[in-house]
Structure 1
Amino acid sequence: MLTFLRKLNHFFAPQKLEIPAPPPVEELVSDEIFNHYSYIISSRIQYFNELSYELKQKFVNRVHQYITLKQFHYIGLEPKDEIPVLTAASAIQVTFGLKSYLMQHFKNIYILADAYRMDNDEELYIGHVAPEGIYLSWKHFLFGYSDNTDNINVAVHEMSHALLFNNYFAKYGVDKNFRANYERFSTTTGPILADVITKRQSYLRNYALTNIHEFWAVSVEAFFENPADLKINMPQLYDALCRVLNQDPNTTQKILKPEL
């Protein structure tokens, strides 16, 4: 794990060349695609079911865009229609309030059947983000969406890492609004993280104590899994996440400022 964390710290180091992402062109999908994707997403992701019909259309349009821009690689399992749809939906769930929502740096997504090892590390992983792509264990992906009360969702967790990677490591596709808000988020939540580390107890699961990157990803998991509880237990953190992601999952509208 230490090797992986060192890699993360390197990946998120600010880069000199930053090319802002052009605004994505949203095109309406056909009724057939909308109905097919909606059926798949609604069977697993409660967030989607809470959206209005108009927002569901917007969500599905973005899912379709995401899928068309990525190559999906299957390791230890056969391709299924639901895999790219649900994987893309988990990404759009995290980025739904953002101007740049496609994580354009990432062209490849690797779906593995179960937990796996990487490099010479003996530790088992259920997901990670690397320059060449996003890796997810499908078994644990489904587990994450099967229980909306445990604050554990590997898809949301890794897509949160990927969002940071895309804005702090990638040389194109940077969302300057997100970066500015994330930097304010880091300043705001620094004392919160310090307090959590000192007290060694928090509403968040213990993995949040690893470092600031894991604090971010674990916080986003709780933000989407149990927004009401997070708001009650850690209101400052909740408000900071609302600002940086431009979302409030406690509302059916979700997006706070549609113009961003």
Structure 2
Amino acid sequence: MTQAFFALLLQADPPPANFVDVVVLALLSIAVIVLSALSGRVNMGFRVPGFPNPLPSKRKEILRKRFPFYNGLSDNKKRRFEQKVQYFIHVKEFIPRQIPSVTEEMKVLISACAVQLTFGYPKIFLSHFKRILIYPDNYYSTINKAYHKGEVNPRLRAIVLAWKAFVEGYISESDGKNLGLHEMAHALRLENLILNAEYNFLDEEVLERWQVLADSEMKSIANGNSRMFRDYAGTNPDEFFSVAVENFFERPEKFKSLMPNLYGILVLLLKQDPLNPL
């Protein structure tokens, strides 16, 4: 059939030049798609480009024992979650500070925290932030001359966490305080602004709607009339977003009940709903 098809083409009148150009471009496009697929660079759903490695059973066991968000997912979404965790571990440098080494548990749970926040975005891995620095407890920052539990430093491309505070954030699952989610939310906002492959992934229109509602709630906080957020959320828009993210995952029922519009916008912004994880 293929030979007959090309024979007919040879017998036909010569096609116009622009037709030939179109055919050449189409063939080149097909070749690029085929080569990309063969090299693993076509990203389908949550599949990670060029990275088919499954999450080892030891790491899966850590998720099953220590990460409630993972356990609430369907089997299919668990597999997607596992792949994102494995890739996050693969591309980040985990650096011990004042501890002998970074354990598997630290790598898995910190990566799972980042994936929890970015789960609605298959291609987002907070790529600007190459380093995860882990302290055992509160640490002294020579930059701000104060003790911290965590911070995000875009200049050093680092996310810094105190392990004790990180773990406490997941032990207390419904107090609206989670250091890991708080700092990852800061990193998410910054990643959206940095000119790289992940730039501007948050919907601008949804962000504008978010900020209008956030500004209103920040005024309520300043007047002492917040319905659920702690005072720290009124510090600035970035801290408000991070505190809102903490409550979004830890107290979604209360959040939605008291602030349905703000909650709904955050669902759109993060492309997921903790009240409907399946």
**TM tier relative to shorter chain:** 0.7 to 0.9
1:107 corresponds to which residue?
Answer: 130
- After superposition, give the CA deviation of every residue in 1:115-145 in whole Å (9 maximum; x if it has no partner): 0121253432100000210000001111111
- After superposition, give the CA deviation of every residue in 1:75-98 in whole Å (9 maximum; x if it has no partner): 112321111111110000000002
Contact 2:170–2:178 under 8 Å retained in 1: yes
Q: How many percent identity over aligned positions?
A: 31
**Which amino acid in the other structure matches residue 178 of structure 1?**
L
Match of 1:142 among 162, 167, 174: 167
- After superposition, give the CA deviation of every residue in 1:182-207 in whole Å (9 maximum; x if it has no partner): 33321332222223323443301221
1:118 corresponds to which residue?
Answer: 141
Contact 1:208–1:214 under 8 Å retained in 2: yes
Contact 1:99–1:175 under 8 Å retained in 2: no
Q: Does the alignment pair 1:86 with 2:109?
A: yes
- After superposition, give the CA deviation of every residue in 1:199-247 in whole Å (9 maximum; x if it has no partner): 4433012211111110000000000111111111221221111011011
1:42 corresponds to which residue?
Answer: 64
Match of 2:94 among 51, 64, 72: 72
**Which amino acid in the other structure matches residue 184 of structure 1?**
R
2:198 corresponds to which residue?
Answer: 174
Measured in 2, the distance between the counterparts of 1:197 and 1:61 equals: 42
1:209 corresponds to which residue?
Answer: 234
Tell me the SS of whatever aligns to 2:264: helix
1:45 deviation in Å?
Answer: 1.8
Superposition pairs for residues 203-242 of structure 1, below 5 Å? 203-242=228-267
The structure, 1 or 2, with the larger RCO (C-alpha pairs under 8 Å, 6+ apart) is 1
1:179 deviation in Å?
Answer: 4.5
Q: Does the alignment pair 1:63 with 2:85?
A: yes
Tell me the SS of whatever aligns to 1:224: helix
Q: Radius of gyration: which is bigger?
A: 2
Query: TM-score, normalization: structure 2?
Result: 0.77
Tell me the SS of whatever aligns to 1:66: helix
2:178 corresponds to which residue?
Answer: 153
2:10 corresponds to which residue?
Answer: none
Superposition pairs for residues 235-254 of structure 1, below 5 Å? 235-253=260-278
1:249 deviation in Å?
Answer: 0.2
**Which amino acid in the other structure matches residue 106 of structure 1?**
F
Contact 1:151–1:225 under 8 Å retained in 2: yes
Contact 1:167–1:173 under 8 Å retained in 2: no
Tell me the SS of whatever aligns to 1:41: helix
**Which amino acid in the other structure matches residue 72 of structure 1?**
F
CA separation of 1:76 and 1:186: change in aligned 2, threshold 3 A: same
Measured in 2, the distance between the counterparts of 1:90 and 1:247 equals: 15
State the number of aligned residues.
229
Contact 2:214–2:240 under 8 Å retained in 1: no
Contact 2:218–2:240 under 8 Å retained in 1: yes
Give RMSD over aligned pairs. Answer: 1.9
1:39 deviation in Å?
Answer: 1.1
1:174 deviation in Å?
Answer: 3.0
Tell me the SS of whatever aligns to 2:96: strand
List gaps (5 residues or longer) in structure 2.
Answer: 1-41
Measured in 1, the distance between the counterparts of 2:152 and 2:124 equals: 17
- After superposition, give the CA deviation of every residue in 1:48-85 in whole Å (9 maximum; x if it has no partner): 11001110100010011111111110011232111111
List gaps (5 residues or longer) in structure 1.
Answer: 1-21, 254-260
